[in-house]
């Protein structure tokens, strides 16, 4: 939960529906609903970020009581498995490793901002409290939920803000709630996993089936399922916020302020650029994986190529979460994909150990 707690702006809400925000567990005893019943409260719709973090910590306290909070410095190949070096000096050998380390290492920063100091430009995952920009002019780069909700939070804090996106139109989800209340028809069109529009939602909810389709079809469908979009409930909150679409920042120059030049020749002089430009998976950016190990990995555009059991080309090394989405589809990048990931992983390991 550290990513959600420390690297997302306070005041945010989850875009996903509460029914798709349960962390999976074998007996269905640690759902979001169970958390609400045990704590004598309810979670509103949409789900506030701080409530989801509290739910995650409650889940951990019940499911993983023996959690060790220690940092891993290095993982390298060994004669019989992997050598793991911890920050406290301990070393040990493990025959199997499961990497479930999230996406914080993959923050995507456009090349135009590569040399801009952090006080003038930062990734949206680096800002926990947007109120710090009070009295300054901020431009938000991006067209997804993070960009649009950050802009709404900035506006509501009385901060001058503009959104700039290369997309020509904004995409919205949840604008037609009646489509989800048509009984059998809705169940045919939408999965409870809540990833993707009608039809696509059903397909990506079955990762083993999805990965059988031709690669080009997978890529197009995955993009359609998770393309930049904002929740419909954000639209009224953005009223009055200037939104410039179909434009791209071609250069950024740092001074006492930040000068941005757009591809239409116009300029913006701002105090800060908030880069809500998403995350681009590249497992070589995991600081704890040795260069030797990374070189042995079979990857495509930074994603590890995985087989059944979410196992990569190095036997005994498994990836879950967003890095698994190239091999098994976009569902793996969401909380609602935890059930498939856990079952796939555990079944593969126990079967290999001769215990079905």
Mean pLDDT per 10-residue section of the chain, whose length is 356 residues: 87 89 92 91 87 94 92 96 97 96 94 96 95 97 97 97 96 77 76 88 94 96 94 95 97 97 97 97 96 97 96 96 97 95 91 66
Helix (H, G, I), strand (E, B) or coil at 195: coil
**pLDDT per residue as tens digits for the range 240-263:** 999 999 999 999 999 999 999 999
> Where do the domains of the chain lie?
2-63, 97-105+281-352, 108-171+228-275, 172-226
Report which of 277, 246, 278 is spatially closest to residue 263, judged by C-alpha positions.
246
Q: Please, what is the end-to-end C-alpha distance for the chain in angstroms?
A: 32
- Beta pairing class for 258-262 and 267-270: antiparallel
Give the pLDDT of residue 185: 76
How is the beta sheet containing 72-78 ordered, strand by strand?
72-78, 81-86, 91-94
Give the pLDDT of residue 356: 53
Alpha helices in 297-335 (DSSP H): 325-328
Helix (H, G, I), strand (E, B) or coil at 175: coil
Assign domain 108-171+228-275 to its CATH architecture: 3-Layer(bba) Sandwich (3.50)
Q: Which helix (H) or strand (E) is 250 found in, with range?
A: strand 249-254
**pLDDT per residue as tens digits for the range 207-230:** 999 999 999 999 999 999 999 999
Q: Which two tokens stand for residue 264?
A: 């239409």
């Amino acid at each position: 939960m550290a990513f959600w707690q420390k690297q997302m702006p306070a005041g945010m809400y989850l875009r996903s529906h509460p029914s798709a925000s349960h962390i999976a567990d074998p007996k269905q005893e640690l759902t979001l609903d169970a958390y609400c019943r045990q704590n004598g409260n309810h979670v509103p719709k949409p789900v506030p970020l701080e409530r989801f973090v509290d739910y995650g910590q409650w889940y951990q306290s019940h499911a993983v009581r023996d959690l060790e909070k220690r940092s891993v410095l290095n993982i390298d190949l060994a004669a019989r498995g992997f050598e793991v070096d911890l920050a406290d000096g301990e070393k040990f050998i493990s025959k199997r490793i499961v990497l479930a380390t999230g996406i914080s290492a993959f923050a995507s920063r456009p090349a135009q901002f590569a040399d801009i100091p952090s006080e003038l430009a930062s990734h949206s995952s680096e800002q926990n409290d947007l109120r710090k920009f009070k009295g300054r002019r901020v431009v938000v780069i991006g067209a997804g939920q993070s960009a649009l909700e950050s802009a709404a939070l900035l506006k509501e804090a009385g901060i001058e803000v503009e959104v700039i996106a290369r997309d020509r139109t904004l995409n919205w989800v949840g604008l037609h709630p009646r489509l989800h209340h048509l009984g059998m028809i809705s169940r045919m069109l939408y999965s409870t996993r809540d990833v993707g529009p009608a039809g696509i939602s059903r397909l990506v909810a079955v990762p083993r089936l999805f990965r059988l389709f031709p690669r080009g079809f997978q890529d197009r469908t995955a993009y359609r399922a998770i393309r930049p979009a904002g929740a419909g409930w954000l639209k009224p909150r953005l009223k009055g916020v200037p939104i410039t679409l179909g434009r791209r920042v071609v250069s950024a120059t740092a001074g006492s302020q930040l000068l941005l030049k757009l591809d239409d020749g116009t300029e913006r002089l701002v105090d800060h650029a908030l880069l809500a430009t998403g995350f681009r998976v590249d497992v070589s950016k995991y600081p704890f994986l040795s260069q030797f190990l990374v070189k042995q990995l079979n990857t495509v555009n930074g994603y590890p190529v995985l087989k059944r059991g979410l196992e990569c080309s190095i036997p005994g090394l498994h990836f879950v979460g967003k890095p698994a989405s190239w091999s098994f589809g976009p569902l793996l990048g969401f909380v609602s994909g935890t059930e498939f990931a856990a079952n796939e992983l555990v079944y593969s390991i126990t079967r290999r150990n001769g215990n079905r």
